[in-house]
A and B are shown apart, each in its own frame.
Chain A
Amino acid sequence: MSLSMRDPTAETGSQRRPRTPPPASLEGATVALLDIGKLRGSEYIDRLQARLDERGIASRRYRKPTPSRVASTALLQQIAAEAQVAVVALAD
């Protein structure tokens, strides 16, 4: 007789979604700069923000309290509401 087992997984499937294409221009856009809390992430964002300032592009800074936890829904919603483009400083 053949054996039957039960699926130990969450029984969910993953869906591949296309990335949002990058904007043709940053003119008039606000760039979100997210420091995830990794060491020296702020240095990277300092440099990037200075470059954006030179080009007259608006930017706003955000920070996660720890790199070990995913960004809260509230933070993601805030970034989505306040910016059109986001740069995440992922690694130290």
Chain B
Amino acid sequence: MGTVSMNAPPADGFVVFAKEECHTCQLVTPVLRALSRSDQKLAIYTQDDPAFPAGLAVIDDTALEQSFHHDIETVPTLIRFSAGCEVARTVGWDRAEWERITGLQGLGEGLPGFQPGCGSRSREPGVHEHLVARFGNPGLGARKVTLGEFDDEAEACFDRGWTDGLPVVAPTDARILRMLAGTSRKPDEVVGLIPPNLAPCTVEKVAINAVMAGCKPEYMPVVLAVVEAALDPVFTMHGLLCTTCFSGPVIVVNGPITRAIGMNWGINALGQGNRANLTIGRALQLIIRNVGGGRPGEIDRSTIGSPGKISCCFAEDETDPAWQPLSVARGIAPGRNAVTLFQGYGLQACMDQRSRTAEELSRSLALSLSAVMHPKLYSATAAMLVLSPEHYAIFRAAGWDRARIEDSLLANSTRPGKDLVAGAQGIAEGMPAKFADMMVPKFWRGGLLVVRAGGPAGLFSGILAGWPGTGIRDQTQPVTREIKP
């Protein structure tokens, strides 16, 4: 709750808010002197220099407490109070208005009749949320944790087990309020139940963890869509967390929002260096850890894990209008913002610098894809192929669209079962003997997701392997969800 100030305005009289760096405030200094000589009470709050205006009794409001309580947007602001209530207000210098409100005539002789004011310091970027946190009611429901005066906030978060092993941004009220401004949704709205503990997660808790992940407020709609997609039962987030396999949520973002928030689909798209890519994926994992209680070594039983379990998120390259974006292929209208969550890990390279025809390249990519999970395990998991611009250019030159590329990859990655069954090639691992006389597809239709990303140079594509859980196809699937404001 806010503190009570001793510098409250008079119950009857005038209040002026001003700052020294405002030319209009300096302009009206003679007017303030005239008001101070009247028989009305006058309180002048100064936002920057407690000695301004010179020669007048001023109240120091450099902490901006009264500016906040009176919702000052512009200086100078003149307010008239009667019986403790505000009855009139004007901003800037407007002689007629000032004369009407004060009841005094002939104010500011020699001054222009009108001059607009300046912005209030309490409305400078990033300030308002601090003032709400300090003097107002932030309206947050989460438990407040107050540190000792000399405590280090990054260490305090580590000590409480709130991090993924990297430092987090301390979730202060001001930062949380700024994050919440990135969504139109109410802070106490429940987004869903986060596994493994099936703990209710509010928009506020999403915002807190997004702050900790390093997100900007404009990422919030994406983060919320990602969380909702992860909670779709068919995504099977619980199992993906618990699994001994390597996999975690892989996030692909489509639509104009990728450009608006500066996501990377180009050079090093799946690597380090882009704030939106890294922090959106990290926010989901922190929510799973902190709200859901999913922690490595506890219910997360991944044998080896993978670095993508910190964050794996990127945008699709939609710069070629001929290419059907992944979101559109999965049922979202063109031009809409969407996230697709895939259960995967990686990357595995396909470095093919010799294929010059679409057919050659398809056979080469298909051979690389056959290694997903194990070269002798087929129809057992999904995969995501990240097609680089130079590889895509070969398909595009041949007139191949998404459907043609996917069909060809599915056909070229089908193998005779005799090569795949357990024991074949001197390898115990493999398909059951009943497949020996069949042609076995590596992936089922829909089990290979093709997405475009990467820098302009390099005849390499990348493969994100899927999770065996997707082998039970009616139970576990990738999820695509539209991003709402």
A interface residues (Cβ-Cβ under 8 A, vs B)? 1-12, 37, 65-70
Contacts and interface: CB of A to CB of B under 8 A. Distances in A.
Interface in B438-485: 469, 472, 474-476
B434 to A, nearest CB: 15
Closest 6 interchain pairs by CB?
A: A68-B239, A10-B199, A6-B142, A66-B475, A7-B143, A68-B469
Contacts of B142: 6-8, 11
Contacts of A69: 233, 236, 238-239, 475-476
A69 B239 CA distance: 6
A9 B472 contact: no
Q: Interface of chain B, helix or strand or loop or mixed? A: mixed
Contact of A3 (B147, B201, B291): B147
B319 interface: no
B147 A4 contact: yes
Contacts of A1: 149
Interface stretch (B12-20, B205-213, B394-402, B415-423): B205-213
Interface string B230-243: 00010010111011
Given A7-B142, A11-B143, A68 B170 contact: no
Contacts of B3: none
A66 B469 contact: yes
Given A4-B172, A12-B197, 11 more contacts: A3-B153, A3-B172, A4-B145, A5-B145, A6-B172, A8-B212, A9-B290, A10-B197, A10-B200, A10-B201, A69-B475
B51 to A, nearest CB: 25
Interface of B: 140, 142-149, 151, 153, 156-157, 162, 170-173, 176, 194, 197, 199-201, 204-205, 208-209, 212, 233, 236, 238-240, 242-243, 286, 290-293, 469, 472, 474-476
Contacts of A9: 162, 290-291, 293
Contact of B291 (A6, A8, A65, A67): A8
Contacts of B242: 68
A6 B211 CA distance: 11
B149 A66 contact: no
A8 B208 contact: yes
A5 B140 CA distance: 11
